[in-house]
Amino acid sequence: MSLHDPIRPLIARMDTGNTYGLALVRVEAGRTPQALDGLEKITKTLNPKFLFTYSFSEEEYQQLYTNEQIVSRLANVFAALAIFISCMGLLGLTMFTAEQRAKELSIRKVLGANAGSLFTLLSREFVALVLVAVVIASPIAWLSMDRWLQDYAYRTPIEWWIFGLAGIAAMLIALVTVSFQAVKAALLNPIKSLRTE
């Protein structure tokens, strides 16, 4: 049974009255083909009319979680796609903001601002936006994960640090995305931006 169902009581008994049945065999790692050959020979010796069939318990157990594996693969693909699209949007927004604030950044640079302070000035807004998004998304994610885990008979509580780690990862991804354009804007020659055409 899968972990969607609670563990029920089990009685295992050896009944000599049965003329058929199953044998559960534990095989040493790497010796599966030899064990199968030996079991087939024993079966044909004891009962030649009995059809020797076998299955692996881990394969049967894995089939119980086919839906979860499909959902996991789909979630990974869509999460990667969402991160990529978000990063592209963030990069475009950074380029637009840097272009609009080019003269302001140039004036700040002429007045003595260093590249680090200009980088901080540009990236601070985007980090704040990502922080707001994490604060909004975390409770929604917690509720949806908690509802999903309700389907299992045995579950673990969702820890708060998972959302903290996800928030830190989101901010790092945002900073990496923004950093290229922010550094480029901070190192731009102020004369080019301040020159009037």
Token digits for 83? 């991160």
How far apart are alpha carbons 194 and 33 in whole angstroms? 78
Cα-to-chain-centroid distance, residue 26? 34
* Banded pLDDT at 197 (limits 50, 70, 90): very low
DSSP three-state, residue 59: helix
Summarize the chain as % helix, strand, coil (round to 5): 70, 0, 30
Residues with Cβ within 8 Å of 7's Cβ and at least 6 positions away in sequence, in order, are 1, 153
Q: What is the pLDDT of residues 40-92, one digit of tens each?
A: 898 888 888 878 888 888 888 888 888 888 988 999 999 999 999 988 988 88
pLDDT in the model for residue 85: 94
Q: Which of 18-22, 104-108, 148-152 has the lowest mean pLDDT?
A: 18-22
pLDDT in tens, 126-164: 888 889 999 999 999 999 988 888 888 888 888 889 999
3 neighbors 153 (Cβ within 8 angstroms): yes
- Amino acid sitting at position 108: R
Taking the mean position of all CA atoms in its chain, how far away is CA 131?
Answer: 20
Domain ranges of the chain: 66-194
Q: What is the pLDDT of residue 138?
A: 92
Average pLDDT, the chain: 83
The residues, ordered by sequence, that sit 6+ positions from 185 with a Cβ below 8 Å of its Cβ are 98, 101, 102, 105, 118, 122
Q: How confident is the model at residue 104 (pLDDT cuts 50, 70, 90)?
A: confident
User: Does residue 18 surpass a pLDDT of 70?
Assistant: no
Helices marked H in the chain: 32-46, 57-63, 66-100, 102-110, 115-149, 160-186, 190-194
